[in-house]
Amino acid sequence: MDEEVTRYEENTGYEYKREKIQALKDLGIDPYNGSFCKTHDIEEIKNHADNLVDKDIKVKIAGRIMALRRHGKAVFADLQDRTARIQIYFRKDIIGENSFTLLREIEVGDIIGVEGKVFRTHAGELTVLVENFTLLSKCLRPLPEKWHGLKEVEVRYRKRYLDLIMNPNVRRIFYLRFQLLKELRAFLDQRGFWEVETPMMQVIPGGALARPFKTFHNALGMELYLRIAPELFLKRLIVGGLEKVYEINRSFRNEGLSTRHNPEFTMLELYQAYADYQVMMELTEEMLSHVVKKITGSYEIEYQSMVLDFTPPWHRISLPQVIQELVGVDIVEDSLETIKAKAKERGVAYEDNWDRGKFVNEFLEKFVQPRLVNPTFVFDYPVEISPLAKAKKDNPQLAERFELFIGKEEIGNAYSELNDPFEQKKRFADQLRKRDEGDLEAHLIDEDYIEALEYGMPPTGGLGIGIDRLMMLITNSSSIREVILFPLLRPSSD
């Protein structure tokens, strides 16, 4: 791990900082006991500079000192808050002898609050002339000087607080994430959806094909699972008559780590009664194109050397048709042996116990997905890999389901929800057989959900959007770890 940000105790700067803290205590100053109320963020001052420069208006700002330039009886510093950075200017004749003495103990990394007036220097730089300042928190460990050049990116993820201090672009990523969530909520709220919360700990994991994390409740003496999706609880709310619900949820899947997978992730899931997958397609297109335009200013964004165009309408392709064209397989009519032979011919590695659904997913990922750059809906999936989706009336082997692909990545999944309790129980039983055969991602039978369906669920459309992957697109990030504040990492070897 990079020596700049580890083993601080071996860095001479650490002892130097401790001496500074003791010097402050000798002056009767507690370096962690200050209080301060801001009047402005730094970005506000920059955006409204014309109303503040050379006016008899005092501003109070606070943040971290990122640079210091001492010139005898004057000191210049760069102060940074969450929004921006600005130059501040101390003069001994203005702040007084005692405060200037204290200023000698202030170092880069310290958090201070300042009060003063805004002006521009002869060079035109926006600056706050400090009249009073307060030490709010002393930085004991030296900030890394070459943070931008770190080669081991895991250091940034393990010490995200330093990453946020030193890298403005990282702060921008998470500001855009906040904007994305805000705009998604606003869009859905305006269309009559209610935001709800459903359990993260569940007796039976369901709503997606994935391996769950297990936990244990001591007081109840029972095994529980972290949810892999909120779907079955949200659909219980549809049964209860809420009609339009959504949840921006944390879900958990016991899977490997990669540039596209983190075991803890964020999804938007929504359900609308009296709708189907076609309605969900229209809603998805309208919502995401609106949100991208709102927070980036354009329908076009750059992602990993690709230009992604979110301008509606989006492409729509049939999964059976595109696999027929690219692989030469009819995923509905061809026998499993024929599909295996074609897979072998096309160089697809597979296991002997694979069913039709496994092959379909592999064909999709290997041959179709790499072609899907602009937003594309791929629809009509086999029922056997869509256990919660309604079958098509004209072809019951296919489900009324689509997945959304953008930038060669899967971003969303949606379908007309299966509301027939008899068929749902049969599908769960099929999944249970797969589980008994060793498929640990298969569904368990949720009897309470079946009972809920027996009270009657209206025809319903459901949609899930991966927030982290969407953020990767919007911020042109190559790894999901860049858009999650604290991604899961293997234990450090240090």
In this structure, the chain runs to a length of 494
CA dihedral 282→285→289→292, nearest 10 degrees, is 130
* Angle, vertex CA 327, rays to CA 325 and CA 328, nearest 5: 70
Q: What does the block give as tokens for 252?
A: 């958990």
* 473 C-beta neighbours (distance < 10 Å), count: 23
pLDDT (0 to 100) of residue 440: 66
Q: Is the pLDDT of residue 147 over 80?
A: no
Residue 290: pLDDT band (50, 70, 90) is very high
Here the contacts of 445-451 (C-beta below 8 Å, separation 24 or greater) are 445/204, 446/204, 446/206, 446/232, 449/206, 449/232, 449/235, 449/236, 449/424, 450/421, 450/424, 450/425, 451/421
Q: What b/e readout covers 194-210, taking b as 16+ CB neighbours within 10 angstroms?
A: eeeebeeebeebbbbbb
pLDDT of residue 207: 78
pLDDT(155) > 90? no
481-485 mean pLDDT: 96
- Per the structure block, which two tokens stand in for 119? 């002006």
Rounded CA separation 174/190 (Å): 24
Read off the pLDDT band of 11 (50, 70, 90): very low
Judge contact between 270 and 193, C-beta under 8 A. yes
Write the pLDDT tens digit of every residue in 102-131: 999 999 999 999 999 999 999 999 999 999
* Mean pLDDT in residue range 404-418: 97
What is the per-residue pLDDT for 347? Answer: 94
Which pLDDT score is estimated for 39? 97
- State what percent of residues in the chain have pLDDT above 70: 95
Name the pTM for this structure.
0.91
293 neighbors 284 (Cβ within 8 angstroms): no
Which of 134-148, 245-259, 279-293 is least confident?
Answer: 134-148
Predicted pLDDT of residue 10: 45
- Round to whole Å and give the CA distance between 120 and 50: 11
Q: How confident is the model at residue 149 (pLDDT cuts 50, 70, 90)?
A: very low
Q: Which pLDDT value is given to residue 151?
A: 47
- The CATH architecture assigned to 167-314+374-483 reads 2-Layer Sandwich (3.30)
pLDDT score at 206? 82
**How many angstroms separate the Cα of 312 from the Cα of each of 259, 275, 289?**
28, 21, 7
- 126 exposure class (CB count in 10 Å sphere: 0-12, 13-18, 19+): middle
Strand pairing report for 460-466 and 409-416:
antiparallel
175-224 pLDDT, tens digit each: 999 999 999 999 999 999 999 999 999 998 887 778 899 999 999 999 99
Tokens in use for 34? 């200050």
Strands 300-303 and 201-202: unpaired
pLDDT band at 441 (very low <50, low <70, confident <90, very high): low
How far is residue 167's CA from residue 105's CA, in Å, rounded to a whole number? 26
CA 181/CA 179 separation, integer angstroms: 6
At residue 445, the pLDDT reads: 81
The per-residue pLDDT of the chain, averaged, comes to: 92
Q: Which of 299-313, 388-402, 435-449 has the lowest average pLDDT? A: 435-449
What's residue 1's pLDDT? 39
- pLDDT band of 459, cuts 50, 70, 90: very high
pLDDT band at 302 (very low <50, low <70, confident <90, very high): very high
What is the structure's pLDDT at 4? 42
Residue found under tokens 């009609």: 243
pLDDT tens digits, one per residue of 348-380: 999 988 888 899 999 999 999 999 999 999 999
Report pLDDT digits (tens) over 59-91: 999 999 999 999 999 999 999 999 999 999 999
Domain range annotation of the chain: 33-137, 167-314+374-483
Tell me, what's the pLDDT at 110? 95
- Biggest CA–CA distance in the chain, Å, is 89
Band (256; pLDDT cuts 50, 70, 90): confident
Q: How far is CA 143 from CA 15, 84, 87, 172, 389, in A?
A: 14, 18, 19, 20, 53
Degrees, nearest 5: CA angle 217-219-220? 70
Strands of the sheet with 194-195, listed across from one edge: 194-195, 244-252, 264-273, 460-466, 409-416, 398-406, 376-382, 315-318
Which of 90-99, 153-162, 259-268, 363-372 shows the lowest mean pLDDT across its residues?
153-162
Q: Do domains 33-137 and 167-314+374-483 have the same CATH topology?
A: no
| pLDDT for 55 beyond 80 | yes
Please give the residue that has the higher pLDDT: either 7 or 227.
227
Residue 19 is predicted with a pLDDT of 86
- Range 33-137: architecture per CATH: Beta Barrel (2.40)
For the chain, give the secondary structure using H, E and C. Answer: CCCCCCCHHHCHHHHHHHHHHHHHHHCCCCCCCCCCCCCCCHHHHHHCHHHCCCCCCEEEEEEEEEEEEEECCEEEEEEECCCCEEEEEEEHHHHCHHHHHHHCCCCCCCEEEEEEEEEECCCCCEEEEEEEEEEEECCCCCCCCCHHHCCCHHHHHHCHHHHHHHCHHHHHHHHHHHHHHHHHHHHHHHCCCEECCCCCEECCCCCCCCCCCEEEECCCCEEEEECCCCHHHHHHHHHCCCCEEEEEEEEECCCCCCCCCCCEEEEEEEEEECCCHHHHHHHHHHHHHHHHHHHHCCCEEEECCEEEECCCCCEEEEHHHHHHHHHCCCCCCCCHHHHHHHHHHCCCCCCCCCCHHHHHHHHHHHHHHHHCCCCEEEEEEEHHHCCCECECCCCCCEEEEEEEEECCEEEEEEEEECCCHHHHHHHHHHHHHHHHCCCCCCCCCCHHHHHHHHCCCCCEEEEEEEHHHHHHHHHCCCCHHHHCCCCCCCCCCC
